[in-house]
Structure 1
Amino acid sequence: MDVRTARQWVDTMEPRLAGFIADGDRRRTLLLRLYQEAGLAGLAPELVLAVVEVESAFRADAVSSAGAVGLMQIMPFWIHELGLPADDLEDPWRNLRYGCTILAHYLAMEQGDLTRALARYNGSLGETWYPERVMSAWQSRWHVPRSASDVTVR
């Protein structure tokens, strides 16, 4: 990870996150970790921000009626697939690692088709409402212009 680029990205995104997280130090820490996890998974960090916004509105303690947990709303069965029984999905860093890994897996499975990958992530394959919500959040709040080759996967 290029530290200078990461810091510039955090500086760009930090004011945009203020409406969700009041504490500046917490915002910066989350953004830096999200940038790192997205990069490890080969994802655009802005895409991950959009997923987190739609899934949990940046609430690490969010739990859905279906039982999905944390920032990226990870279903507990993923612990058995990817991790260790002691993994805590409410831990924001662990949750980001799981979520980015899962989304990258679905992108690979769908050969880069972001709409289908996002629908799989949400468990709504065949529907477009969820991918549309994520794409809307990405374009309206988190978008940073890049070259066309850097849109979804790095």
Structure 2
Amino acid sequence: MDTFEFEQKLLSIRDVLRFLAYRLTGSEEETDDLVQETMLKALVNRELYHNDMNFNGWVYTIMRHIFINDYRAKSKRPMKSELPADIDLSSRAEECEEWMVEDQYDSMDLKRLINGLPEIYRLPILMYLSGFKYREIADKADVSINTIKSRIFLGKKLLKKWLDDRMNPE
């Protein structure tokens, strides 16, 4: 599928994406943001889509992953509230340190870590993050679905260890 066809197909499902995004977010403003981010990510990752895949399912998987990642990021941030003027915030620095550490890692850090994985883990994880299903990844790699599940699990475990080591150097 060439670029023009891909874009036309993506535009043709925009109303469906808006409906699905609204069901996920429950907010018009967040719906627009989610649809826009989904379409942008689909365009950026166009080369990962293949004609034998379900286009609507591929794009919806991208949307779902964006929504879940945004939800997780929002739930980890402290809620903003009005503080009384007499509170000494400097004494709370240690309590806030955990939040500051989480903000140190952006998507570029994560991409660098993923790119540092051995290829046997890196490719399945990249495909999984791009919205491919286990079966599709297994077919592309010409291995069993259980092997792919294992590689993704072990790759994620290695990434978590690296992140933990970076957050808690000894």
Could you state the TM-score of these two structures normalised by the residue count of structure 1?
0.40
Write 1 or 2 for the structure with the bigger share of helix: 2
Report which structure shows greater RCO (CA 8 Å, sep ≥6): 1
CA radius of gyration, larger in: 2
